[in-house]
Amino acid sequence: MRLLFFLTVLAISLVACRSGRQMTAVEPPPEPPVYEPVAEEPEEDVVEPEEIQVIEESFVFEHKEDEASHEVNRFFVVLGSFRVIENANRFKAKLESEGFNPVILLSETGLNRISVNSYSLESDARQRVMQIRRSYPEYHDAWLLIRK
């Protein structure tokens, strides 16, 4: 019974596959199109300035001696902010081991900001932020604090 079923299916398949045209040699597939490179003029490297976060707020220095060395400056480069002073102190120690001279700023919002540089000109502070971002990828989020 199975053999009869198999032969019937085979016969139907052969009849269904026949077409009315004669069998010919298989034609090769068409050649893929050839794309020639187009000579383009090199584009100028356009470097868009990275966005620097800027916050303006009042703060005091954790240590009075830090205030004396930064009192004339209004623009501060910040690498971290912490609610808990112990965390701020740990981060400050880490930055010192990396060659920075950090100070802790106690902000009006209750955060302990870790600043590594201060400037009287905003442009100098922005340049330092970008230099830190390039030289220290782990501080890619360095930002600018403006003293009120």
* Alpha carbon distance 42, 110 (integer Å): 51
Instruction: Give the per-residue pLDDT at 2.
Output: 65
Instruction: Give the per-residue pLDDT at 69.
Output: 87
Q: Is 87 exposed, middle or buried (0-12, 13-18, 19+ CB in 10 A)?
A: middle
Task: Compute how many other C-beta atoms are within 10 angstroms of the C-beta atom of residue 133.
Answer: 17
Domain range list for the chain: 54-147
* Alpha carbon distance 147, 76 (integer Å): 8
Name, in order, each residue with C-beta under 8 angstroms of 132's C-beta and a sequence gap of 6 or more: 77, 79, 116, 139, 142
pLDDT of residue 107 exceeding 60:
yes
pLDDT of residue 12 exceeding 70:
no
Q: For strand 54-57 and strand 143-147, is the pairing parallel, antiparallel, or unpaired?
A: parallel
* Tokens linked to 121: 């000109």
The answer to pTM > 0.75 is: no
Average pLDDT over residues 4-31: 60
pLDDT of residue 130 exceeding 90:
yes
Given this structure, which CATH class describes domain 54-147? alpha beta
90 to each of 77, 111, 116, how far by Cα in Å? 18, 15, 14
Region of poorest pLDDT, from 6-20, 62-76, 85-99, 101-115: 6-20
Average pLDDT over residues 100-115: 97
